[in-house]
Structure 1
Amino acid sequence: MQEGHPDLAAYPRFALLEGATPVQRLTRLEQRLGNVGIFVKRDDLMGLGGGGNKLRKLEFLIGEALAQGANTVITVGARQSNHARLTAAAAARAGLQCELVLTRSVPRTDATYTDNGNVLLDELLGATVHDLPGSEDALLFATRRATTLTELGRRVYVAPLGGSSPVGCLGYAACAVEIETQASEMGVHFDEVVVPHGSGGTHAGLVAGFVAQGRTAAFVRSHAVLADEDRSRIVSFEKSTATLDLLGHKAEFSASDLNIDDSHLGDGYGLPTDAMREALRTLARTEGLLLDPVYSGKAFAGLLHDVRTGRYRSGQNVLFLMTGGLPGLFAYRNAF
């Protein structure tokens, strides 16, 4: 199976995790749904800043920033960005100043959304928050802000949306190795790994990591929560091939080989769906586990639909990546 682990040693890395996150079996949910084995990879169980998948990317992004001599990190996101919150936490751990450029790109104006959840934690973690309208170009603002700070003598590193540069994607190439090791130790064969697809870095990194170990690109199934299937496919192909290049591997697949579904996107990014609400309640009431409403909630709704409609055969095993984002749930009180 494994052609060789991805070579990650060449890239600076700042430790933010306490070791491998656990894989757990959802036995009560399986009893309700039938004969498909359902497992979760608990990337929500990370200690720093409330936890979540962005910490894997930030290990390499902060590592790169420190290697470049940066003393300030700037990143961008939506008002309730999990990546922004964890960038603030990672910067605090690394002794860096942090600025967050957040756009009101989700059409919600209630105070629970605009001032609670991740935004509350951003300020507690010491980040300077720039609050922009949804129409503004956050990355352009961040670039100009970096220029201003550089002129004042600061050394600035700008991290992309979701931390999803090829360097950031290395975090999930490493996670692919971690999953293969855990599957071997557990004696479990996973037929598919399921993830949310936002900025695309988690999906792309996993694809790169698994392909480097001999898997097909389609082994990772992602449910789009930010853009439609066509756009998500383009993003993931560009990032997975660029990440494979960093790992010294050539991509032998096309964009059409990527396993992406946008049927649970709903009306758009950050906008609740009935299927998402049902998925959150189902997992909470069968397993006591909490999903976030923007990413994992919609992706888990996709997984439930796939199990119920027979996408997986009896006896197959699927691994769902719980990406975290729990603080955002408290910003969506009105949606429930």
Structure 2
Amino acid sequence: MIWRIYDFPRINLFGRPTPLEKASNLSRELGVEIYVKRDDVMDLAFGGNKVRKLEYILGEALARGSDVIVTRGSYYSNHVRLTAAAARKLGLDVVIVTYPPQKDIERIEQGNVFLNKLFGAEIIEVNNPREADEKMEEIRRSYEEKGRKPYVIPVGGSTPLGVFGYIDGVYELMEQLRKLGVKPRYIIHATGTGTTQAGIILGLKLLGVRGINVLGIDVEKHEDENRIVDHIYELINEALEILDVKLEISKDEINVVKGYSFGGYGLFNDELIEFIVNIARKEGLVLEPVYTGKAFYALVDLINKKEIKKGDKIIFIHTGGTPLVFQLKKYFEKYL
């Protein structure tokens, strides 16, 4: 059943597979086995989980004859940066609608913000996500009136086609684990829009893999605790409908772990920054405080709380975001 995703248009944006590396120092220190799926080292624009989603999303855009891509995201958005890069690689124009991750957060002209300009994206700034959605619709109509063919991508690439990216990613990961002879108990990653988690859960189900707990660490502090689970559930079922596959997945199988958002999307504190610095110095692994740092902090905390047991094997999906370290450099300086 998993092979049906390959019937859909897809463009190749990176070389497969991304590395799967054991975090040997941390594994020894914590008494578990941690393997890092390095989706942060893809070929395109510093990589990240959004690249997998964009392969299918932009595949459809090209199949439709689209010539301009429109999307939105905050100043910290990795999705926006990678959409801009991928669009340029494909010879498409790109319009970005952007806004502060939280009220009164300044726009720092480094990292993702700088890269968006480097790729020559048209950048339109608004105040918040609601205004961004309205502006994207306005832009779509404007381009259509000019005879252009815009393709609008929701925030984070959160569509059923985006889910396909991590169905494919799970197949890749399972092949690597099979060759290593590793049978993990957990797959842990940062959850924002929930698309990556939907793809991982559905990919495992389509492959018939059992016994792996997928833990999505909520990095945004969603106000309605059920909303993100409901959204992941909807994405899974929409993907199944497109694939024309009958498969039952219950909401109980969707595990979104709360308590590690550090106040909300784009928010963090000195404790998290110091943790990220320590991980870099122990393992040579670069995390950032918006997404991956929070997820890895949760992983270590769950081990320390004995919710993850000694000897367990864990896969951490490194979803990228490296440019954010440079964008948020000033917060790291006192620990260097």
TM-score normalised by the chain length of structure 1: 0.93
Is 1:25 aligned to residue 40 of structure 2?
no
After superposition, give the CA deviation of every residue in 1:263-285 in whole Å (9 maximum; x if it has no partner): 10121100013453243123201
Is 1:198 aligned to residue 192 of structure 2?
yes
Q: Which residue of 2 aligns with 1:239?
A: 235
| SS of equivalent residue, structure 1 residue 55 | helix
For residues 214 and 327 of structure 2, what CA distance do their matches in structure 1 show? 29
After superposition, give the CA deviation of every residue in 1:16-69 in whole Å (9 maximum; x if it has no partner): 0111101000111112212x1001000000111121110000000110000000
Contact (CA 8 Å) 2:76, 2:266: kept in 1 or not? no
1:134 offset after TM fit, Å? 2.3
After the TM superposition, which of the residue ranges 98-107 and 143-152 deviates more from structure 2? 98-107
1:70 offset after TM fit, Å? 0.3
Contact (CA 8 Å) 1:278, 1:301: kept in 2 or not? no
1:114 and 1:133, CA in 2 relative to 1: closer, same or farther beyond 3 A?
farther
Is 1:91 aligned to residue 87 of structure 2?
yes
Contact (CA 8 Å) 1:283, 1:289: kept in 2 or not? yes
1:313 offset after TM fit, Å? 2.2
Q: Which residue of 1 aligns with 2:312?
A: 316
For residues 167 and 249 of structure 2, what CA distance do their matches in structure 1 show? 17
1:241 offset after TM fit, Å? 2.1
1:140 and 1:298, CA in 2 relative to 1: closer, same or farther beyond 3 A?
same
From 315, 331, 335, the counterpart of 1:335 = 331
Is 1:172 aligned to residue 158 of structure 2?
no
Aligned residues between the structures: 330
After superposition, give the CA deviation of every residue in 1:77-106 in whole Å (9 maximum; x if it has no partner): 112211000000000111100000111232
1:220 and 1:6, CA in 2 relative to 1: closer, same or farther beyond 3 A?
farther
After superposition, give the CA deviation of every residue in 1:116-147 in whole Å (9 maximum; x if it has no partner): 21010001011101111126421221111011
For residues 76 and 97 of structure 1, what CA distance do their matches in structure 2 show? 14
Amino acid at match of 2:19: P
Equivalent residues in 2 for 1:1-336 (5 A)?
5-34=2-31, 36-110=32-106, 113-134=107-128, 136-215=130-209, 219-228=213-222, 229-336=225-332
For residues 239 and 214 of structure 2, what CA distance do their matches in structure 1 show? 15
For residues 205 and 149 of structure 1, what CA distance do their matches in structure 2 show? 32
After superposition, give the CA deviation of every residue in 1:205-225 in whole Å (9 maximum; x if it has no partner): 111111111235972110001
For residues 173 and 315 of structure 1, what CA distance do their matches in structure 2 show? 27
Across the aligned residues of Structure 1 and Structure 2, the Cα RMSD in angstroms comes to: 1.7
1:5 offset after TM fit, Å? 3.3
Amino acid at match of 1:199: T
After the TM superposition, which of the residue ranges 209-218 and 86-95 deviates more from structure 2? 209-218
After the TM superposition, which of the residue ranges 278-287 and 138-147 deviates more from structure 2? 278-287
Amino acid at match of 2:33: G
Contact (CA 8 Å) 2:79, 2:156: kept in 1 or not? yes
| SS of equivalent residue, structure 2 residue 73 | strand
After superposition, give the CA deviation of every residue in 1:186-223 in whole Å (9 maximum; x if it has no partner): 11111111010101111111111111112359721100
| SS of equivalent residue, structure 2 residue 76 | coil
1:218 and 1:274, CA in 2 relative to 1: closer, same or farther beyond 3 A?
farther
Contact (CA 8 Å) 1:75, 1:142: kept in 2 or not? yes
1:160 and 1:218, CA in 2 relative to 1: closer, same or farther beyond 3 A?
farther
For residues 176 and 276 of structure 1, what CA distance do their matches in structure 2 show? 29
For structure 2, which runs of at least 5 residues remain unmatched after alignment?
none
| SS of equivalent residue, structure 1 residue 101 | strand
For residues 189 and 282 of structure 1, what CA distance do their matches in structure 2 show? 28
Contact (CA 8 Å) 2:221, 2:263: kept in 1 or not? no
1:254 and 1:94, CA in 2 relative to 1: closer, same or farther beyond 3 A?
same
Amino acid at match of 2:199: G
For residues 276 and 104 of structure 2, what CA distance do their matches in structure 1 show? 20
1:155 and 1:144, CA in 2 relative to 1: closer, same or farther beyond 3 A?
same
1:170 and 1:203, CA in 2 relative to 1: closer, same or farther beyond 3 A?
same
| SS of equivalent residue, structure 2 residue 279 | helix
1:319 offset after TM fit, Å? 0.2
Contact (CA 8 Å) 2:2, 2:167: kept in 1 or not? no
After superposition, give the CA deviation of every residue in 1:143-164 in whole Å (9 maximum; x if it has no partner): 1101101111111000111011
Amino acid at match of 2:73: G
